[in-house]
Structure 1
Amino acid sequence: MAGKKRHMLTFADLFCGGGFGARGAVAAGAQPILAVDAWEIATETYKSNFPTAKVLCSPIEDIAPQELAANYRPDVLLTSPECTSHSIARGAKPGCEQSKETAIGIIPWIDAMKSRWLIVENVNRMKKWGRHKELISAIQSHGYQVNDLVLNAADFGVPQSRKRMFLVCDREGSIISREDLLAMHKRPVRSARSIVDWSGTYKSRPLYTEKRAQATIVRAERAIKELGPGKDFIIVYYGSDYAGGWQSLDAPLRTVTTLDRFGLVTWQGGVPYLRMLQPPELLKAMGAGSKHELPHGSRRDKIKLCGNGVCSPVMEIIFRKIAQIEDEELGLAS
């Protein structure tokens, strides 16, 4: 239609973490205008990557969203409530109800911001939470069509197998399916091998040493028995594991968590060597691309940032779909 122009989507980012989801949204042409997280390392990382956004370091319940809404009216409210009490990676530890209820804490923000679009990302096990239906009903009561999707990052060209729940919600009633998003995706499948820095920058040590934990040796020997000597592989620590504690480099990396859980085994002169994967490699596993940086915090902090993050290419496709829908409404879509 004559006179109509493409609108740049803006978004507010609650539980913003290190900005991995935001990186995907920006790749789709969107602009972050407001971000909130309770962890200082996360907000400093976000500021470094998106210096034009207003970034607040605070729990969301300590902020009055009505006051912010006077100056910030994002098209998309992007939220990733704390997921540790839902995740299978917790093992047998009991869940923290207060942690889970950070999801309910987004409701005042929905009411204040009145964004057309709402995205809620979390681990798929959140659906087992007793108040999950209450959350869905509350979102619907604000006029949203809720598209409840389970997406695996590996299906979107991310070198990591990471299944997450995405509630993609529209006040205008758009129906969005997993198949719609996959149809927009053109990236090939990528393996764990693609994230490894093979330059020799990170030094390995012999697998068999006196100080090496026996559990690590057992994991490694399972892999060597299966693959044969001389084949590189990854040892997987922590979490519920049904694959023998190791994985092939030819498959996407298992889910990155907030813990240091991946050891790379390589061979030198017929001898196996081991080192842990490093934050720049995990950053690649999140699909964040070369523009994203982790300039703040310790090695452990950077691993935690990755483990708490949203894989960028998945969020990019969601934002591209949102933009496509708005373009079609304006008659701009080809």
Structure 2
Amino acid sequence: MINVVDIFCGCGGLSLGFQKAGFNVVRAFDNWDKAVDIYNRNFDHEAELVDAYNLTAEHIKSFSPDVIIGGPPCQDYSSAGKQDETQGRANLTLRYAELVCEVQPEWFVMENVDRILKSQTLPKAIDIFKSLGYGLSQVVLDASLCGVPQKRKRFFLIGHLGGNDDFLTESLYSDLSSKSTTIRDYLGDEFHTEYYYRHPRSYARRGIFSIDEPSPTVRGVNRPIPPGYPIHAGDATNDLSKVRPLTTLERARIQTFPASFEFSGSKTDLEQMIGNAVPVDLAKYVAKHLMEYISTPLNVPMQLQFNLA
């Protein structure tokens, strides 16, 4: 078994994707109690409520992780946030890098918004990883080309201790679908509507979408259609009687959480944690390719070869 620890686990999208790809997730950590509660409702292993700055390498090492995964908070980089790295959350990317390098797992996977590529923080994190000898693969993946019914671009940094740079890049890019996954492709008529409303950041943008296209990025807000909504030229229909907003749980389905995944809590908290989550099947896509790489005999350390035998 290949053991995985998830730092900044949220409600578990990244963990579940890795679990579905055959990894053995043994522990998770986050500092948001509501997300940790949801995580612990849905997994057999435990998520601990802990601040990343209070989390020690010694504690992580006690779970013998072969892989550390995690999505440090992205609000300081995100187009939905303030895009201000001085807010403090960007430093959690560096904390993630420090913990990985203190623990020294064979592999790690870090997820974030694609805007991190324009940040001042990412090069610092890369320097930390490179100083310890990690070979790095950097990719930006469109979730809709990875089996997720959502146009959501996310950055992944995958490291292999002692490996070569770009060891996984070609594999991740070469297996992308040639066609975006639509909501109907993934869920059929599960929503019992052809059209739905997703509140735009401004009315210069469309707000009405069809299930015969991938969803726009699921964000942490979900609002009803406002009175007097101005029809946009790009809207999928101009008949508002055929349109409704999606429910919280329907948005979780677009994030490819299974219908059996148990969510409970306030609507505000659930919308935020679902919007923050890594789509499960996007995580599975990355995990599947990493598993294939790890399972190639030349890439497997002798100790893991013995364990896998």
Of residues 100, 104, 110, the one that matches 1:110 is 100
| 1:60 paired to 2:52 | yes
Of residues 20, 28, 47, the one that matches 1:27 is 20
Structure 1 residues 166 and 271: alpha-carbon distance in aligned structure 2, compared to 1, 3 A threshold: closer
Which residue matches 1:310? 278
Secondary structure (helix, strand or coil) at the match of 2:80 reads: helix
Structure 2 Cα separation of the partners of residues 156 and 189 of structure 1 = 8
CA contact (8 A) 1:23 1:292 kept: no
Amino acid at match of 2:123: K
Q: Could you tell me how far 1:292 is from its partner in structure 2?
A: 2.6
Per-residue Cα deviation, 1:159-213 (whole angstroms, up to 9, x for no partner): 111101100111141534554125456797431345564459xxxxxxxxxxxxx
| 1:42 paired to 2:10 | no
CA contact (8 A) 1:28 1:316 kept: yes
Gaps of 5+ in 1: 1-7, 201-231
Structure 1 residues 164 and 298: alpha-carbon distance in aligned structure 2, compared to 1, 3 A threshold: same
Which residue matches 1:219? none
| 1:257 paired to 2:219 | yes
Secondary structure (helix, strand or coil) at the match of 1:34 reads: strand
Which residue matches 1:159? 149
Matches within 5 A, 1:10-25: 10-25=3-18
Q: TM-score, normalized by length of structure 2?
A: 0.83
Per-residue Cα deviation, 1:270-323 (whole angstroms, up to 9, x for no partner): 8715432112211111112234322x3112222111111111112112222222
Structure 1 Cα separation of the partners of residues 72 and 224 of structure 2 = 25
Which residue matches 2:171? 180
Root mean square deviation, CA, Å: 2.9
Structure 1 residues 248 and 81: alpha-carbon distance in aligned structure 2, compared to 1, 3 A threshold: same
Structure 1 residues 94 and 183: alpha-carbon distance in aligned structure 2, compared to 1, 3 A threshold: closer
Per-residue Cα deviation, 1:233-258 (whole angstroms, up to 9, x for no partner): 33332437864333333210000111
Secondary structure (helix, strand or coil) at the match of 1:293 reads: coil
Of residues 77, 87, 99, the one that matches 1:86 is 77
Of residues 291, 294, 303, the one that matches 1:326 is 294
Structure 1 residues 56 and 136: alpha-carbon distance in aligned structure 2, compared to 1, 3 A threshold: same
Flag the structure with larger Rg.
1
Secondary structure (helix, strand or coil) at the match of 1:16 reads: coil
Count the aligned residue pairs.
Answer: 288
CA contact (8 A) 1:258 1:305 kept: yes
CA contact (8 A) 2:71 2:112 kept: yes
Q: Could you tell me how far 1:46 is from its partner in structure 2?
A: 1.1
CA contact (8 A) 1:86 1:100 kept: yes
Gaps of 5+ in 2: 227-234
Which residue matches 1:121? 111
Structure 2 Cα separation of the partners of residues 155 and 262 of structure 1 = 29
Amino acid at match of 1:281: E
Percent identity, aligned pairs only?
Answer: 24
CA contact (8 A) 1:157 1:190 kept: yes
Q: Could you tell me how far 1:112 is from its partner in structure 2?
A: 2.9
| 1:289 paired to 2:279 | no
Q: Could you tell me how far 1:107 is from its partner in structure 2?
A: 2.9
CA contact (8 A) 2:200 2:206 kept: no
Structure 1 residues 307 and 149: alpha-carbon distance in aligned structure 2, compared to 1, 3 A threshold: same
Amino acid at match of 1:256: V
Structure 1 Cα separation of the partners of residues 140 and 179 of structure 2 = 20
Which residue matches 2:229? none
| 1:190 paired to 2:190 | no
CA contact (8 A) 1:10 1:32 kept: yes
Structure 1 Cα separation of the partners of residues 167 and 256 of structure 2 = 23
